[in-house]
Amino acid sequence: MANCDLCVVRNRAICSSLDAQELEVLNAIGRTRTMQPGESLIWEGEDSVLVANVIDGVLKLSTNTEDGREQIVGVVYPSDFIGRPFGGTTGHGATALTEATVCVFSRRDFDAFAREHPALEHKLLERTLAELDRTRRWMLLLGRKSASEKLASFLLEMEERLRPSGCVWNFEDGASRRITLPFSRQQIADVLGLTIETVSRQFTRLKNDGVVDLPSRRDVILLDHAALVAEAG
């Protein structure tokens, strides 16, 4: 495993609360793994045996309905923590959407380490509460917002979460910003509870209104940030 001091998400991940000696111990029980798009790390319904920090790339959290349909229930980004510490059955799978690098720990080893380091447990609690807040916002998005508000909210979240570390985007100067979505149009539709035709129509409308530009199926250039915020409601 690479030295934790060289980790690009060191100051944002849950291990940011640890000192150099504690990091050395954590470094000894983890390993770095590179994942290809479509490769799974955690499987729905299985015992929790792994936890991980995302170092680079984007992964989806998904579950399957009884008739075999996939529903994406969350997305994890660099510095996010995935897995279920302290036992239990995993309620969703975790699969790479892009090429990704993760720092993987045996759940039992991580649990033992966390119990001896209250600051790490505190970080886990903070992350859990933040995830609960995001879930509640997502429930509002899926249950109450229109199709246009859903897509605009989705793009704003992508802009925030995919922004390079330490980068501050100044939209007031009129400069446009490009994001590369880790989703296909069908996956966006699945996430937002829409049809692919509706998603395509909303993208076209945003482009025609001068809010975004669409140089490719995955790239979105944000031309008018204020208008996108207003669109999100």
Residue 188: CATH number of its domain = 1.10.10.10
Q: Please name the residue that has the structure tokens 């944002």.
A: 12
pLDDT band at 168 (very low <50, low <70, confident <90, very high): low
Name 219's bridge partners: 180
- Hey, CA dihedral for 185, 186, 191, 192, is it positive or negative? positive
Average pLDDT, the chain: 85
Listed residues 80, 112, 139: the one ending a domain: 139
- 160, 228 Cβ separation under 8 angstroms: no
Instruction: Find the DSSP H helices in 145-195.
Output: 147-162, 185-192
Q: Are residues 214 and 121 in the same domain?
A: no
CA distance 9 to 12: 5
Tens of pLDDT, residue by residue over 122-146, are 888 888 888 788 777 777 766 778 9
| Residue 61 pLDDT greater than 80, yes or no | yes
Q: Are residues 13 and 93 in the same domain?
A: yes
CA distance 63 to 2: 32
The number of distinct structural domains making up the chain is 2
- 54, 76 Cβ separation under 8 angstroms: yes
Q: Are residues 135 and 150 in the same domain?
A: no
- 22, 117 Cβ separation under 8 angstroms: yes
Summarize the confidence of residues 148-159 as an average pLDDT. Answer: 90
Q: Are residues 117 and 158 in the same domain?
A: no
| Residue 170 pLDDT greater than 80, yes or no | no
Q: Are residues 124 and 167 in the same domain?
A: no
Q: Are residues 131 and 160 in the same domain?
A: no
Q: Which domain holds residue 114?
A: 4-139
Q: Are residues 126 and 155 in the same domain?
A: no
